[in-house]
Structure formats: structure tokens, C-alpha cells
Amino acid sequence: MIELRHLTKRYRTTTAVDDLTATIGPGVVTALVGPHGAGKTTLLRLVLGLVPPTRGTATVMGRRYADLPDPMRRVGVLLDPPGAHGGLRVRDHLLWLARSNGIPGRRVAEVCGLTGLEGAGRRRIRTLPPGLLLRLGIAGTLLGDPDTLIIDGPTTGFAPAGATWAGTLLRTLAGAGRTVLVTGRRIDELDGAADRFLVLNRGRLVADGSADDLVRADAAESVLVRCDDPGYLARRLTAAGAGVRFADRDALLVTGLRGADIHRLTVRCAVRLHELTPQHTTLEQAYRDLVGSRVAR
């Protein structure tokens, strides 16, 4: 269980994390998603005590990470792929990691089995392709059999098969009762992996829910409108406080007003309506609507 209470981190001119409150519980994979600079890494660094908060608290199982006894057995952390010891063989890297944390060497074979690295134990780390490096990173987080896993970008930059593999493993680990927190910039890459999304934009939590919740919330607010004078209607809708953009040359996508209100307005300003359809959006579109045009590739 990870608890964030009014968590805030200000750098000189930037509020990287802004008054964030959330509980990240066991049994599901929770994904922290947001574009470049949204504050994801800062949030993880705050949880791990690598930077002090300006305000608020972050605890793991009720304690600050720095106060956890034997943290590697409680929290498995992967912030960067393990590239630093490129000359080491996979098995030796994991053995070194286990021994330096008081974990029995037999765990190495177990975590290699869990992550599909059985055949790669003798390979040198610098020869591993990104997908195997990710597996090695995750294997390292599992050595201490922790209740909580924090993994930065497990699906970022990998081929779809690698992202699917990571998603399936993370779901299995969460299904066994662990708390699993992952991050990413692209929500579509995490769609199969995560049960719950915390969407971060400019340091603020702008949505919290399942993929279905996010899609439903977005669809409820968005209506496609076709009429004989979209430019004029767009101005009237904007004046009425709606968000309006052109979906194509003669269709408007309207947010902030319900279909019935839009209909009333078209009658009042004598615009002939051709179509008024609440939108069934995609997760990707819902995410774009939440974070604006800042979605990174």
C-alpha cells in the first residue's frame, strides 16, 4: 500500500508535483501516466525518499520508504534498466544483487524462471536487447519477494510483444496480492497492463480510474455536432462556455454542454442541425483530452 497525502514538490520555478492525494492499493496494477514533464519521475523519487517533499507525505506500508526495515524485501524498485554493469553476466549480476542485500542465492534461479531468463544466465548484460534488459530489471525487483513493486516505464520503448509480456507478468504479480505501481507516457501501451490509471498533467492528478471510467467520463462530456453553419454555432457555443473544436471540416466536437443544451442553443440561434451524437471515444482520445496536446511519443 502506497499512500500519498497532499504530496507537493516545488523546484525553483516549477511545481513538479502539486498537492497530490491518492492511495495505491494491492491486487491491481496502478499506472501513473502523463506526458513529458508531468511529474511522474519526481513522484517516484518522492515515494522513495530520493528528494524531500515541499509539503505532504508519501508512505509505503504506513512508513516513509527510508524508515522501512530491509526495504528490498518490501519494495522492488526499477527506475532505470540495469545497464551500469554491462560486463557482468546476467546470473552474476543477480547473485551480486541478492548477496549484497542478504537474500539467498537460490532466489536467482526462481526470479529467472519468473521472468523467462532461464536461458540467458550466462549472457553479458551489455549484449542484451532492450526486452531482455527489462526482464533482468524486473527480475532484480523480485529478488526480495517484495509486497510492493515500483517500476518506471515497463512498457516504454519496447516492441508490442515485450509490452504485452510485461503487462501479463505485472498483472500476475498484482493478482497474487502485491501493490504494483508503474509509469508511462503512452496510455495505449499500458492499456493491457494496468487496471487503474492515475493521469498526471503538470504535476496535478487530472483523472483516476479504470480504462472504462476514463472513456466513460470523456464520452459523457463530448458531443459531435453537424449543422449548416458550424463556424457560427462554434462561436455561440464558445460564448455559452462550451469547449469547441472542429472534428472535421463541418463537424464540431463539443465539451462542457450536454446534448439537450446544445440542441436548445441551435434552436435559439436558428441553426439547422444535421447530427447530435454523444461520442464513444477511445482510451487514447480520453487521455489526449485530459492532458491536451502534450502527449509524448
Ligand X SMILES: Nc1ncnc2c1ncn2[C@@H]1O[C@H](COP(=O)(O)OP(=O)(O)OP(=O)(O)O)[C@@H](O)[C@H]1O
By DSSP bridging, strand 148-151 and strand 75-78 are: parallel
- What residues between 255 and 274 interact with ligand X by CB under 6 A? none
Handedness of CA 232, 237, 242, 248 (dihedral sign): negative
Fill in the per-residue mask, 149 to 188: x = in contact with ligand X (CB under 6 A), - = not in contact. ------------------------------------x---
| String of DSSP letters for 245-284 | EEEETTEEEEESS-HHHHHHHHHHTTPPEEEEEE----HH
Give least dist CB 202 to ligand X, A. Answer: 8
Give least dist CB 125 to ligand X, A. Answer: 23
12 vs 249, beta carbon nearer ligand X:
12
Give least dist CB 13 to ligand X, A. Answer: 8
Give least dist CB 115 to ligand X, A. Answer: 24
Q: Is 11 in the site for ligand X (CB under 6 A)?
A: yes
107 vs 185, beta carbon nearer ligand X:
185
Measure CA of the first residue to CA of the last residue in the chain; give whole Å: 31
CA distance 251 to 225: 6
CA distance 203 to 196: 18
33 vs 143, beta carbon nearer ligand X:
33
Give least dist CB 222 to ligand X, A. Answer: 26
For ligand X, which stretch binds (CB under 6 A), given 11-19, 59-67, 102-110, 270-278?
Answer: 11-19
Give least dist CB 270 to ligand X, A. Answer: 47
20 vs 149, beta carbon nearer ligand X:
20
37 vs 131, beta carbon nearer ligand X:
37
**Among 121, 169, 172, 173, CA closest to 145:** 173
For ligand X, which stretch binds (CB under 6 A), given 9-17, 65-73, 112-120, 259-267?
Answer: 9-17
- What residues between 13 and 42 interact with ligand X by CB under 6 A? 14, 16, 34, 36-42
C-alpha grid cell for residue 168?
501479463
181 vs 233, beta carbon nearer ligand X:
181
CB 196 within 8 A of CB 209: yes
Q: Is 135 in the site for ligand X (CB under 6 A)?
A: no
2 vs 225, beta carbon nearer ligand X:
2
7 vs 97, beta carbon nearer ligand X:
7
C-alpha grid cell for residue 51?
528528494
Give least dist CB 282 to ligand X, A. Answer: 22
Question: Taking the CB of residue 276, how many other CB atoms lie within 10 A of it?
Answer: 16
Rule CB under 6 A: which residues touch ligand X? 11, 14, 16, 34, 36-42, 185
